[in-house]
Structure 1
Amino acid sequence: MDISSTKVSKIIVHRVGNKLRDEGFYLSPVECNRSNTLDDLLLSSLLSPVIRRGEEFFLTHESDISLNTIHHYAKKLFSDPNQFKQCSEAIAKHLYGSSGHPNIGGGEFIIILFDDVRVDDVSLQALGLFRVESKDDYLDVGEEGGVIQVIEKQGVSLDKVQKGAIVLSDSHKVFVIDNLGHKTKYWIENFLKASPVHTPKKFAQVAGTLIKAISNKVETPGNAIEFAKHIEEHLSESESLSLSDLRNISKDYIDDEKLDELVNGAHLKYGITLDDNAPIESKYLSKYAKDVVTKARISEGVSLLVSNPETKISSIEVKVTKGGFRAVVDFERKGA
């Protein structure tokens, strides 16, 4: 995907509150004024992070994809950009209807139409949806009555997209960022109504989360180190790891019932089911399993992180003392 030639075509901002608190919504009567500087900021700080770091989903509906609200209005404005304002209002009302959780904060809703997003040299349109739920404090300097003053203001940080989605004009695919998803999952599940794309990287992410969860449930730090070693050896010696392989590695450290609970938890979190014998590529899984190999749990709330790739923890022995605990850690260094 290439956004080097992408241009901002239209932008409008609505204000959408929390429906549960009857905060209502305000629909902007006109599109935003734009400048070259503003367009560049929107491309680099909103579009680019979602395209490059967002997770891939596809829009869904229980019976007919044309009934998915985002798909319906995105398709409508892609066909006729003159309907951008009307479609943006409908999408904002849909967001309000999806904002019924008490943890959802009201805020600005930025809608942008982009032109010339290139996928395999094909020029596409893209619809950007960005939700602002919190603002940062910043300082400005201004002059009042001949005196230069420091003025405290609030604004939207360009460092981190809070909630963003990019819908492409040629498919049901949508790129999503939800950095506040720990509060509520409404952005993906209720507003976008999207399901994750089942890619090798996504399977590896689910498996990596599962490996980390298993490691956290292993009773002793020493056993957790052994478990991590077995995972690392398998990934280095084999091109893939399956759920069945993971069960075999885990059987000496965690019981089947607890493992099934963790597998179900990973499924609920990502909406992806791992088949027992489906191969998960080691080259992708190694990235997500890295924390288990390089980070060792010493005690509750105390962990040891090894940042030197040439050094590994070989064993940990923890003993309870009168005032706390004592940990003896052995390290192995490659080439030593």
Structure 2
Amino acid sequence: MTGLDNVLLKEVVVHRIGNPTRGESLQLSPHALTLNDPIVKGLLIKYFLSPFNDQECYRFTHLSDVQLNEVYQYTGAIFKDPAALLSKSQLIAQFLYGKSTHVKVKEGELYVARFDHVPFEGTEVPAIGIFKSETKETFLKVFPHGKSWEVIHEEGIDIRKLDKGCLIFDTNPDEGYKVCLVDTGAKQDTQYWVRDFLQVQPYADSYHNTHQYLDLCKDFIKNEYPEKFEVAKSDQIDLMNRSMDYFKNKEQFTETEFVEEVLFHPEVRDSFMEYKKHYENARQYEFGDGFDIHGAAVQRQQKVFKSVLKLDKNFHVYIHGRRDLIEKGYDEMTGKKYYKLFYDEEA
């Protein structure tokens, strides 16, 4: 998130959240932080808000009624009465503590903060942030000792990396608010934050549809495609490139068109559509037959669509297109595999 110059950090409460299955405690603070130092305020604003992508929005949900979502209720009460931040933050901490039972959930500090003038969708709105810091870094501190110097080590928080975060904007309350997320942990280990604690689902907008469909393509090509079909790594990269090129060159996504233009073989198409069903069921997310393609989502996914063919530790071949100009073979004399590349000019 950028454009944070006008953001006001109104109040912050910090609690200590352990893992109850390891006998770690919940330590609730009776007071908000004292924030008299403007430099500390500025650092906290940057630490809390910079990691968020405000184009990727979620909303609070519940199996029966969003009104039964605990975090939705607590944050809604703070929006209505800012003086309730301390008491509601304690309830939020107690609720998270009860969800922190997975063996890989780490102990850490939970921050509940209230902001004003946060830039969002062309305006500035109030927001509530819920953040958790789990990773501690070791720092060296140099200090004078008589006429010389001494060095000690201290543990602290790296303000360049937020482990987990949730930013709730005071907009669309009837639909579960608009929410942005940060979660740097492994998906299989930290679902407690998104699924069990926050209970959020993505807004079915053009950004999420674009981002999720490219994520689906990437997962299929990396996992299902080589398992079901005998394909070389260069074939996987070629399909990655064709998928990305479709989204880069189109303004509107149509599934039938995508399948015909990108997935050439009927067997691959059938396998992809079956994989898509499992993907949607696992995430409780349906794409529909078409949607507008969001350029920012394409750019973000392009960073993780790898087009590098790594051959042992000697060569990295970047493949950007024309799979027909790459030939794979096996040399019996050396007992090694090889790739033959055809080109016109050498740069």
Calculate the TM-score normalised by the size of structure 1.
Answer: 0.84
**Residues of 2 paired with 1:122 and 1:283: CA distance?**
21
Q: Does 259-268 or 180-189 show the bigger shift?
A: 259-268
CA deviations on 1:286-319 (whole Å, 9 max, x unpaired) are: 5366469760446699984639xxx655432233
Aligned match of 1:215: 221
Unaligned runs of 5+ in 2: none
Is 2:87 the partner of 1:86?
yes
**Residues of 2 paired with 1:264 and 1:257: CA distance?**
11
CA deviations on 1:208-258 (whole Å, 9 max, x unpaired) are: 122223433251245335535644664566433333334333252854563
Q: Does 197-206 or 232-241 show the bigger shift?
A: 232-241
The DSSP-based 3-state class of the residue aligned with 2:84 is helix
Alignment partner of 2:211 out of 201, 205, 212: 205
Superposition RMSD on alpha carbons, in Å?
3.3
**Residues of 1 paired with 2:126 and 2:304: CA distance?**
41
Deviation at 1:95, TM superposition (A): 0.7
Aligned match of 1:263: 276
The DSSP-based 3-state class of the residue aligned with 2:50 is helix
Is 2:197 the partner of 1:191?
yes
**Residues of 1 paired with 2:107 and 2:315: CA distance?**
37
8 Å Cα contact 1:221-1:318 kept in structure 2: no
Deviation at 1:198, TM superposition (A): 1.2
Alignment of 1:1-336 (within 5 A): 3-34=4-35, 35-50=37-52, 52=53, 55-119=56-120, 123-144=124-145, 147-171=148-172, 172-182=177-187, 183-216=189-222, 217-218=225-226, 219-224=231-236, 226-228=238-240, 230-231=242-243, 234-235=246-247, 238-248=250-260, 249-252=262-265, 255-256=268-269, 258-267=271-280, 270-275=283-288, 277-281=289-293, 283=295, 286-287=298-299, 290=302, 295-297=307-309, 304=316, 306=318, 312=321, 314=323, 315-321=325-331, 322=334, 324-330=336-342
8 Å Cα contact 1:206-1:266 kept in structure 2: no
8 Å Cα contact 2:164-2:184 kept in structure 1: yes
| AA at the equivalent of 1:306 | Y
8 Å Cα contact 2:211-2:297 kept in structure 1: yes
Calculate the TM-score normalised by the size of structure 2.
Answer: 0.81
**Residues of 2 paired with 1:259 and 1:241: CA distance?**
16
The DSSP-based 3-state class of the residue aligned with 2:338 is strand
